[in-house]
Amino acid sequence: MTGENLISICKTKRQYSVKYVFAIVMMLALILIWPLSLLKIADPYINNRLLKQEGDYSYFYISSGEYLTTVIKGKGALVDKAAIRLRFQEQVPEDASLNVYIFDSQGNVVVDEHINIFPRPENDIYEIPFNIELAKDGEYQFIVAPDSEYTIGIYCYGQTSEPAVLLQNTDSSLKKEIRMVSALLNVCIWLCGLLFIVALLFGDRLKTLNSNIDTSTAFVPSLISVFGLIIYGQYLFDYNSDSLDGLKKSVILIIVLTIIGFLGTFIKKNELLMAGIILFAVGCIYLLTFPEGMIPDERAHFYRAFSLAFGNFQAVKLSDLEVGGILPSAIREIADKNAVIDFNDTVAIGFKNTSLYSPICYLPQIIGIRVALLFTNHIHLVFMTARWFGFVGAFILCMLALYYMPFGKPFMFIVMILPMTMQEMAGVTSDAMTNAFSFLFIAIVLKAVNDNQKLSNKQIMVITLLGTCIGMCKMVYVPLLLLVLLIPIRLMGSDDISDSSKKVIIARFKYALMLVIPLSLCAITNSILGRNLVPVGENVDAPAQIKYVLTHIPATFMIVVRTIVNSTSQWSHEMTGDFLGGLNIRTLPVITLILLLMLYISARDMNISKPFSNAKAKLLFGLTFFAGYFMILGTLYVTWTTVEYYIIRGIQGRYFIALLPALGLFIASLYAGGTSGKEEENADFTGTKKIKGDYSRLAMVVVPQLLLIINMIVIVDVYKFLLAN
């Protein structure tokens, strides 16, 4: 036996020893999880952290003769007890107590309790016995006050003086759901843990079943799923354990994460399938989680879509300050499952902030509304059908964009599954289709250039149509049309651009059409829809604002600088997924940081081909993003900001999502070394050349898992907000 063989045997034995150590550690972890139950879920109310927040809270101090009050809305369920939190800043008498009263809407006292301050409970969270059934949608006045001469602080959410009161319901269905979710979570953790052990120890045998398996990294997806399930499970039980709806949604997410762990281990050529499963599952949960009308401007978007569904292309000018339409009065009751549409009972409803949007923005929703009205006249069902059709339409376009992207699929997928992107896809909004059209347009253009083959008339028509859709959806994204300039004119059918033959003239004509038609239709559509435009705020005057900009260029420049400096941080949070709902649902700050890092890293590591790494491509990518960026700022300054105001108002981070792929491509081009066309043909899903030992494919398996876990946590945050409000 040679020395080299002996060294090789020693290395192999050492590797197996390390694998066995990790396998044993995993087995011990599984034993701790179940049956020793490391996850703390036995008493969800004691362990509930809503009253233990040290961020979004304030304490208001009251003394004898003072009180704090809030309104509790009933949900038609028995409430056994409630909980409040106190804070002490001075000596409190040993016999001190609190008076707690609840009055119903008729002024009757339904709860009259005296709570002893001592002995103090853990975290100073005091339980108040209720034992009453709060009528559904009934409003009850909650009052708390000291009964003697002492001062005490009452925990309140936000910067209000309304005490935070957590209602606790021992409904058997909630307990059953908690036990069921806990059991399912433990089973899935065990399945993924055992999969980890099998993949770690018997990877070589798995390779005989599937030659595409990388035995050196096959265990990673299952490991990510194990830790993801543990983190998500504890976060879920800490914050959503008293939400029956939140627990039900968690079942789907737990199963999906487990499935993704198995797919990541065994399937190496269907990353697109994994992306589709995650995108669809997360989107469905968002759609069913957000209450009706909670997504920004959703009601106004639905009014506009409903009006368009009946052929009202142009909104009606209702007054000098309002634009909208004559719609059934029941349309305002989208959350009421019993509200019925009566087309003889109509009312003027304003939606001036969405009146400019063309039917292209709402095409799936319009179809959904018309289909729903064939089967029902309940406005809630019509609204939810519009949501589902809008989501499915945007989902299909997004999957097509992922399919056609010649490289940079991970970056595009991250943009698509940002919590803010998913929220817009799940609601009745104009952003869902606008973003989807933008993603698909970018993918088709990049593929046309990357293929380096003559474009057919069909391809030219598709690019022109998608460009037109973008322009008609939102004018601020017209700069995306600049990407068409990446296409060499020779791909239009002419090999010699200096030739003056008829062939060259036709090629240039086709090239011009891809730019002129979208720009022309965008201008025509906006001019027609803008005829009834009215100011959207006090002292907002577009002509006067434009005049000010042209006559005060230095001041305008400083306004832009001031806005960027003051607002970029908030825009980043809003763009990725913080400030969800009506900009009032806050997610974990670390999520924004992780998502921004993932976007940057995936853009930097995007292995683009040579046609996209030259100076022209870099210029076009940068120009596309920054032109769109400043068009958004300029448009909002003219149409949403008070004349001569010192800062630009009305900008939200979600407006930049459609431009993110252009920014990612710009970053990628700055780092690009360039690959040849042949190398791109042999590239994997990530667009990276297949090289032995390359971990890019593993990244495309792990990244979707991490994004799924992030969205699972965000959904818990949404329910946490709903519980507290």
Residue 90: inside a domain, yes or no? yes
Residue 498: inside a domain, yes or no? no
The pLDDT assigned to 56 comes to: 64
Q: How far apart are CA 324 and CA 346, in angstroms?
A: 13
Q: How far apart are CA 410 and CA 424, in angstroms?
A: 20
Give the N- to C-terminal CA distance of the chain in Å, as an integer. 74
Residue 45: inside a domain, yes or no? no
Instruction: Return the closest-CA partner of residue 140 out of 184, 180, 101, 114.
Output: 101
Using the 8-state DSSP alphabet, how is residue 375 labeled?
T
Place of tokens 């052990």: 197
Q: How far apart are CA 688 and CA 696, in angstroms?
A: 7
The pLDDT assigned to 678 comes to: 42
Structural domains in the chain (count):
1
Residue 408: inside a domain, yes or no? no
Q: Which two tokens stand for residue 393?
A: 């339409």
Residues whose CB is less than 8 angstroms from the CB of residue 116 and which lie 6 or more positions away in sequence, other chains included: 95, 96, 97
Instruction: Return the closest-CA partner of residue 609 out of 683, 535, 552, 512.
Output: 683
The pLDDT assigned to 659 comes to: 96
- Residue range(s) defining the domain that contains residue 126: 51-168
Q: Report DSSP letters for 276-328, one per residue.
A: HHHHHHHHHHHHHHSPTT-STTHHHHHHHHHHHHTT--S-EEEETTEEEEEEE
Residue 541: inside a domain, yes or no? no
Mark the ranges of the chain whose per-residue pLDDT is less than 70. 1-16, 34-50, 53-56, 170-172, 203-216, 268-269, 493-501, 537, 673-700
Residue 521: inside a domain, yes or no? no
The pLDDT assigned to 683 comes to: 42
The domain spanning residue 81 has which CATH number?
Answer: 2.60.120.260
Instruction: Return the closest-CA partner of residue 224 out of 281, 288, 274.
Output: 274
Whether 403 contacts 273, CB under 8 Å = no
Q: How far apart are CA 722 and CA 173, in angstroms?
A: 19
Residue 381: inside a domain, yes or no? no
Task: Dump strand ranges (E) for 91-197.
Answer: 97-103, 109-116, 125-134, 139-146, 152-157, 166-168
Q: How far apart are CA 599 and CA 508, in angstroms?
A: 37
Q: How far is CA 243 from CA 168, 239, 627, 669, in A?
A: 10, 9, 45, 47
Residue 106: inside a domain, yes or no? yes
